[in-house]
Chains A and B, each alone.
Chain A
């Protein structure tokens, strides 16, 4: 019985890791497509998200199967609960990635719009957070997970800055209002991705240590 459970858990682990890799790569592609105004890459992102959706359902079904068949307890239970939640967050990140890719498609047509200098930093930060929280998941490293939680504040600050910049940008150069709005939208998606990455990091900490650290700090003060 224990061996069966272990096998199921290993399978689940592989699945969630595969899913996370796909999502991570997709975020990277979406960010790159924005950076390079690469419409083909953006289309690929939208295409790949279908795989994410399928896998999300697979992982969820797998989790429910383990619950029903093995009634896991202790670490195993925490693992499966964490996987269920991480699964959800990953799927949401996947959707946000598609949104970014769609914005990217629009931007690719406009071409000559110059972004604020903060923008690449924000993209890189959000991407790095996702990478780190997945690293924490892979290596079961609660310290790294905590670092991700801390990094979320930076992304939030960047988002607020971006908000101000878009505002002044629209006032000064109302001809580019479309592009500014796209940019605002993308930075909002990035901020949301960073939030989901934080959630994943918190779930990783829950999985490792069994303590729920959500809503304990002064986070999420953003709009």
Chain B
């Protein structure tokens, strides 16, 4: 059975409900009426036959049938019934419509045979005499208690039928009209019931498709109205909830995608549920391709995979550090990405793990800083230990008797004094470095607008003596109008450090060029110190501003460097809001630049 439309179901059942009783009643009543009519007819014929029989009995005593026949004919004219009187031998004695002589012997007629047995008989058959269908009623006529003749009355069937047909016609018209009205009414009622439901169905389909725009307005029977109102309410709430869900999802997506930490969530089948942009970048994978994929397929890294599995199976948060090779960067000095993974199982309400969440932090920078710190501590101790060892050595020598030899003692003490100076300068440098750093942090460096030239000249004065000793000429090129905000003594120290370095690493009779230029384009002052010294190879350039970083350790120490000079320069410049830079060609010299923000000329 295929589903039928409600309208047709209602319509058909209404039609059946009205039609079946009407037709049953019609059929039954017609049938009963027909029977009743026939019975009445037969009874009527019987009554007439009885009347005739009573009269015919008197005439039967005559020997000739003439009087019987004339009686029949006389009565037949008055009553629209055919009368026949048949003798016991079957010979017709009298008939109301025909002459008895022309009629054949009626001894074989069924009603005659039945009547001869002494009872009433009814039969309906074709009359050959009258050439039409007739209803016959026959009964015996008694003379002295003996059957002496059979009286038969008959009536044409077509007259009965005619009367019945007239009746049928009327009934048919009434039934037809009833059926017609019933059809119209059923149609109307069914439509009235099914229409709101149809409308609601259409709206519900729209709702399902996500269109909550139009409200359903139904003005019909109460239940439908209530249902429609309920539907509208449901749609409104659904719409609201959907909006909330969408909003929450958008919020979540926005939060996830703007996170710096990578986030990956997997379900219990190890398939990726969520992955954010940061994770995509960290693992260099394609976010859109990953969703719903198996983690080992999307993110080909056994360690991450194992980590997630551990997170999925453990009850407590897990943590791990990971070094990830950066693809396509084998040549880099640091090709590894250091990641810190935090993992946690996602639990449902029952406490069962339905997935795992992993948060990834990029700790490469922290790792680098940590390394620098470790190096720093190691360097400081090393730098301090070297002079201390020699001091200790000389002091022990002195104690062991060298004191008694004044010439030796003085030499040793000079060395000790030198080493103490060295320690002192290192400590001085460290202190000034930390002071600058601290000042820069709390921005307590007192910046005053000062002509740059003034500082350059002052710095050069400090270095002049050393330059003269190595016959190095110092060229200055400076526009007196350039002003910059600075803390004069600090910047002077920075420039002195750079010029000092330049002199230290240059051979005799070379030139060190110092210049200050204004870069109008990005509003900066560029102070550059160029030497023609030994230069620095490429691999060191990046790190020379680090504390205690030395290109050539032995040489630096011989020249009296603490390994902190450039670091101090860097921090001074940073405190001024500027930048330091270096470019160098091995064997041809280096250029250090200090870039300071330009003060608008007054």
> Which of B51-59, B325-333, B357-365, B374-382 makes up part of the contact surface?
B325-333
Per-residue CB proximity of A21-35 to B under 8 Å, as 1/0? 110110010011001
Tell me, in angstroms, the Cα distance from A124 to B327 when the chains sit together.
9
Q: Are the C-beta atoms of A18 and B302 separated by less than 8 Å?
A: yes
> Which of A89-97, A131-139, A158-166, A204-212 makes up part of the contact surface?
A131-139
Interface centre among B294, B300, B331 (most CB of A within 10 A): B300
Q: Are the C-beta atoms of A124 and B328 separated by less than 8 Å?
A: yes
Q: Are the C-beta atoms of B335 and A32 separated by less than 8 Å?
A: yes
Per-residue CB proximity of B291-327 to A under 8 Å, as 1/0? 0001011101110010000000000000000000101
**Which range contains the number of A residues in contact with the other chain?**
20 to 34
Q: Are the C-beta atoms of B328 and A128 separated by less than 8 Å?
A: yes
Q: Are the C-beta atoms of A24 and B289 separated by less than 8 Å?
A: no
With A123-B330, A124-B330: A24-B300 Cβ-Cβ less than 8 Å: yes
Q: Are the C-beta atoms of A21 and B305 separated by less than 8 Å?
A: yes
Q: Are the C-beta atoms of B301 and A21 separated by less than 8 Å?
A: yes
Q: Are the C-beta atoms of A32 and B330 separated by less than 8 Å?
A: yes
- What A residues does B335 contact at CB under 8 A? 32
Q: Are the C-beta atoms of A17 and B296 separated by less than 8 Å?
A: yes
- Smallest distance from the beta carbon of A16 to chain B beta carbons, Å? 10
Tell me, in angstroms, the Cα distance from A20 to B305 when the chains sit together.
13
Would you call the interface of chain A mostly helix, strand, loop, or mixed? helix
Q: Are the C-beta atoms of B296 and A21 separated by less than 8 Å?
A: yes
With A32-B335, A139-B289: A17-B328 Cβ-Cβ less than 8 Å: no
Q: Are the C-beta atoms of B325 and A28 separated by less than 8 Å?
A: yes
- What B residues does A123 contact at CB under 8 A? 330
The residue from B289, B296, B301 contacting A14, defined by CB atoms under 8 A apart: B296
Q: Are the C-beta atoms of A17 and B330 separated by less than 8 Å?
A: no
Q: A48 — nearest CB in chain B belongs to which residue?
A: B302
- Smallest distance from the beta carbon of B271 to chain A beta carbons, Å? 11
Q: Are the C-beta atoms of B330 and A35 separated by less than 8 Å?
A: yes
Per-residue CB proximity of A1-27 to B under 8 Å, as 1/0? 000000000000110011011101100
Q: A26 — nearest CB in chain B belongs to which residue?
A: B302
The residue from A13, A25, A32, A127 contacting B302, defined by CB atoms under 8 A apart: A25
Tell me, in angstroms, the Cα distance from A22 to B300 when the chains sit together.
9
Within 8 A of B (CB), among A25-49: 25, 28, 31-32, 35
Q: Are the C-beta atoms of A14 and B294 separated by less than 8 Å?
A: yes
With A17-B294, A17-B300, A21-B296: A32-B325 Cβ-Cβ less than 8 Å: yes
- Smallest distance from the beta carbon of A207 to chain B beta carbons, Å? 15
Per-residue CB proximity of A122-154 to B under 8 Å, as 1/0? 011001100100100011000000000000000
Tell me, in angstroms, the Cα distance from A13 to B295 when the chains sit together.
12
Tell me, in angstroms, the Cα distance from A21 to B305 when the chains sit together.
10
Tell me, in angstroms, the Cα distance from A13 to B297 when the chains sit together.
9
Tell me, in angstroms, the Cα distance from A13 to B296 when the chains sit together.
10
The residue from A31, A120, A127, A134 contacting B300, defined by CB atoms under 8 A apart: A134
Tell me, in angstroms, the Cα distance from A18 to B298 when the chains sit together.
11
Tell me, in angstroms, the Cα distance from A124 to B330 when the chains sit together.
7
Per-residue CB proximity of B267-293 to A under 8 Å, as 1/0? 000000000000000000000010000
Q: B336 — nearest CB in chain A belongs to which residue?
A: A32
Tell me, in angstroms, the Cα distance from A139 to B293 when the chains sit together.
10
Per-residue CB proximity of A47-87 to B under 8 Å, as 1/0? 00000000000000000000000000000000000000000
Within 8 A of A (CB), among B325-363: 325, 327-328, 330-331, 335
- What B residues does A22 contact at CB under 8 A? 302
Q: Are the C-beta atoms of A20 and B300 separated by less than 8 Å?
A: yes
Tell me, in angstroms, the Cα distance from A28 to B305 when the chains sit together.
17
Tell me, in angstroms, the Cα distance from A24 to B299 when the chains sit together.
12
- Smallest distance from the beta carbon of A97 to chain B beta carbons, Å? 14
Report B's interface with A, CB cutoff 8 A. Answer: 289, 294, 296-298, 300-302, 305, 325, 327-328, 330-331, 335
Q: Would you give 11 A-B contacts (Cβ < 8 Å), ordered by A?
A: A13-B294, A13-B297, A14-B294, A18-B296, A18-B302, A21-B301, A21-B302, A32-B335, A35-B330, A127-B330, A128-B328
The 9 A-B residue pairs with the shortest CB-CB distance, nearest first, are A21-B300, A17-B296, A138-B297, A124-B330, A28-B325, A17-B297, A21-B302, A120-B331, A18-B296
